[in-house]
Amino acid sequence: MTAVPAHRPPARRRLARAACVLAAGAALAAAGPAAAVDPVLVPELQVRLGTPGIVPGLAAPVEAQADDPGLVADVVLTPGDPRRAEVAAALLAAGFRGAVIRDQAGPDPAAAQVRVRTAVAALASAAVAQARVQSLLGVVRTAPGQVVGAVGELANVPGGRVVGLSDPATGQTRAVVVFASGPYLVVSEMDALPPFAAAPGPLIALAEEVAGAAPGTPDAGAAQGLGVPTSLRAAIRSAFRRARPQDPATRTGPLPGTVSAALLDGRIWAVADMGSPAAGDPQLFRGTADGGLQAVGRVRVAAGCPVLPRSLRLTWGLDEACPAGTPDPVLPGEGAVAGELPEAVRGVGHWVWELERSAPSPEALADRAVRAGIRTLYVKSGDGARYWSQFDRAVGPLKARGLRVCGWQYVYGRAPEAEARVAARAVRAGADCFVVDAEIEFERGRLYGPARRYMRALRAEVGRDYPVGLTSFAYVDLHRSFPYSAFLAAPDGAQFTMPQVYWKAFRVPVAVAMERTYRWNRIYGVPIAPIGGTYLGESAADILRFRCAAELLGSASVSYWSWQHTRGGQWGALASPVRCAAERQGPPASRYPELGRGSTGDPVVWLQTRLRAWGERVPVDGRLGSGTLAAVQRVRARAGLGGVTTRLDDPTWELLLTAPGTAPAAPAGVARRG
């Protein structure tokens, strides 16, 4: 994978002379009537000094200078004049594009020599204004002869930044505020300051005052910019710590980089520079249903375009490198970090094995899926080291109908790296997620090494944040030689599992098959999205029972194998509205399997892997002996569980599946992920 650059504005050395001179100031006065801000930077902010005039619409006269009402007026206010916002509003109402408002002294009476200059410019849209904020910050930060002492966000002004500058030669300190309010760009400059720590107070008050005088709302359908208060920065730090507990950037202190935040469809989104070369900046965060934040992962870039919804790119000024019409992506790994299913997997899905035996054309397949209420189609894209071009034929027409399309590949473990390249080809072709189908070959050979090699090679191709799932045997206890843990272990593992719960083939009721599947799959601590069968003529009533069981067990997704086997009477039950009982007949005796001395297989391998994550030096040999049991007791004792147990019970699993060194937040803990 190509390293992702941080999305900071490019340094424009030749424009550095324009830094901090959006207001007229001494530089413009010396330059004469033709002086203007470099048009390559912000052509809308041309400041021309002309014949003095009177600002219209004010009870008391205020002089302004401008040679054209369509340009930016230059206004000088006397110290303490309270009409700053009123003047700005009057100039805008009079048709000026903006105003430079200058004080002979700043708002702090104790700092008599402080000068404040404020510019307000009306731009084409809120998106353009936000983009200009980013451009201006790049210039301010690279001003020659200046030392950037501090950069901070305005807590109550969306997208606002405060930059502290100092001139080593003169000892002068300067602070610049830049922010957008709807389609208006506002810049305030304060110089001859006391130490920078004292500057943000009056500047923030000034920025809020000017923002109130700059009318305008964000574009229709756009994200709404948010300020970045201390509480949001703390939530970002906490979410990053949960996602990457070992990363040095999670330990202590304030975030070293900048943050941009927005509200989209009722959910907070944020990008933040965490100062973490290991994680790769910037990092993306999104709000959760409970009002918290989760780390989605680093922001990927495709051909220079950040992989973000367009409205977020526009709001944050990151859309300039994106081709027109770039579609909104399914965000990589969305939801997976916090134990939720990725967006592409949520809802009802169906599996397509052989495209030509499933429908006359991809368009016909899409029509049937839409009529049936199917949201996601899993189309086979590879078999071992051989790519299936049917995926390329299907992905475009299916997405054109609003369907999510995920690729899947049957893998053998014979050539893991070559098989991973086949998987990555489907991702490059437009797959919204990818599912690895590994079965009997890995079980018979106990192919832990090839499983790890495949996942490591796949992540090297698609990144660790891209949504990847595993589908395999439903009953972990009957397939203890299968390397579930090798496919699911962080950092390269799959983020969710899709067990094949074929109850009719198992010859048991739906509820029995689902309970056993979930109890054993929960130990891996990832979301579960069960696959039911239609290939054995399963009844519509059983399909509805399957959907209700998944709902009661907490899954946000179900899907079916396979499209070409589904018959007429089954279609109506796949995704039709269904009312499920609100409660079970009674709580299960155990949410997790009770392993004891002598237990073997992959569940023990996974147990030992979790113990090692907690700092216990146990061999990972798949045998539960006295050494492993002693390590379990030590972890329990450190967490205050107390008591001696010779079997792994629910509280022990809950503890081991949390981040090392922490206790479960609630009794349900990781179990809710299922």
335 vs 367, more confident: 367
As a whole number of Å, the CA-based R_g of the chain is: 30
Model pTM greater than 0.75? no
3 state DSSP class of 185: strand
CA distances in angstroms from 668 to 300, 337, 342, 592, listed in the order given: 34, 18, 21, 11
The amino acid sitting at 644 is V
* Residue range 524-551: mean pLDDT, rounded: 94
Are the C-beta atoms of residues 108 and 114 closer than 8 Å to each other?
A: yes
Give the pair of three-digit tokens for residue 330: 């399914």
CA distances in angstroms from 342 to 339, 352, 457, 515, listed in the order given: 9, 20, 21, 23
HSE-CB of 379 using CA atoms within 13 angstroms: 36
Burial tier of 519 (Cβ tally within 10 Å: 0-12, 13-18, 19+): buried
Angle at 472 between CA 467 and CA 477, to 5 degrees: 125
413 vs 247, more confident: 413
- Count the neighbouring beta carbons within 10 Å of the beta carbon of residue 149: 16
Span 421-469, pLDDT tens digits:
999 999 999 999 999 999 999 999 999 999 999 999 999 998 888 999 9
User: What integer pLDDT is reported at residue 286 of this predicted model?
Assistant: 83
User: What integer pLDDT is reported at residue 474 of this predicted model?
Assistant: 97
Q: What percent of the chain has a predicted confidence (pLDDT) above 90? A: 37
Give the model's confidence band at 33: pLDDT under 50 very low, under 70 low, under 90 confident, else very high: very low
Give the pair of three-digit tokens for residue 500: 């094949």
The amino acid sitting at 155 is A
- Count the neighbouring beta carbons within 10 Å of the beta carbon of residue 56: 15
If you average pLDDT over each of 192-201, 374-383, 658-667, which comes out highest? 374-383
Q: How far apart are CA 283 and CA 439, in angstroms?
A: 35
Give the pair of three-digit tokens for residue 138: 């790049």
Give the pair of three-digit tokens for residue 197: 């720590």
- Count the neighbouring beta carbons within 10 Å of the beta carbon of residue 430: 17
Q: What's the whole-number average pLDDT of the chain?
A: 74
Are the C-beta atoms of residues 459 and 452 closer than 8 Å to each other?
A: no
The amino acid sitting at 585 is Q
User: What integer pLDDT is reported at residue 103 of this predicted model?
Assistant: 53
Are the C-beta atoms of residues 476 and 521 closer than 8 Å to each other?
A: yes
3 state DSSP class of 157: coil
Q: How many helices (H) and strands (E) does the chain have?
A: 20, 25
Who's near 271: CB < 8 A, 6+ residues apart?
A: 7, 259, 260, 282, 283, 284, 285, 299, 308, 316
3 state DSSP class of 424: helix
User: What integer pLDDT is reported at residue 392 of this predicted model?
Assistant: 95
Are the C-beta atoms of residues 477 and 444 closer than 8 Å to each other?
A: no
310 vs 65, more confident: 310
Partners of residue 406 on adjacent β-strands: 378, 433
pLDDT at residue 619 greater than cutoff 90: yes
**CATH code 3.20.20.70 region(s) in the chain:** 343-574
pLDDT at residue 604 greater than cutoff 80: yes
Angle at 334 between CA 329 and CA 336, to 5 degrees: 155
Lowest mean pLDDT among 285-294, 577-586, 600-609: 577-586
Q: How far apart are CA 158 and CA 246, in angstroms?
A: 32
- For 141, the enclosing helix (H) or strand (E) is helix 126-141
Q: Which residue has the tokens 């048709």?
A: 95
Per-residue DSSP letter, 327: P
- Count the neighbouring beta carbons within 10 Å of the beta carbon of residue 664: 18
User: What integer pLDDT is reported at residue 140 of this predicted model?
Assistant: 67
Which CATH code is given to the segment(s) 343-574? 3.20.20.70
Q: How far apart are CA 22 and CA 100, in angstroms?
A: 8
User: What integer pLDDT is reported at residue 149 of this predicted model?
Assistant: 66
Are the C-beta atoms of residues 65 and 76 closer than 8 Å to each other?
A: no
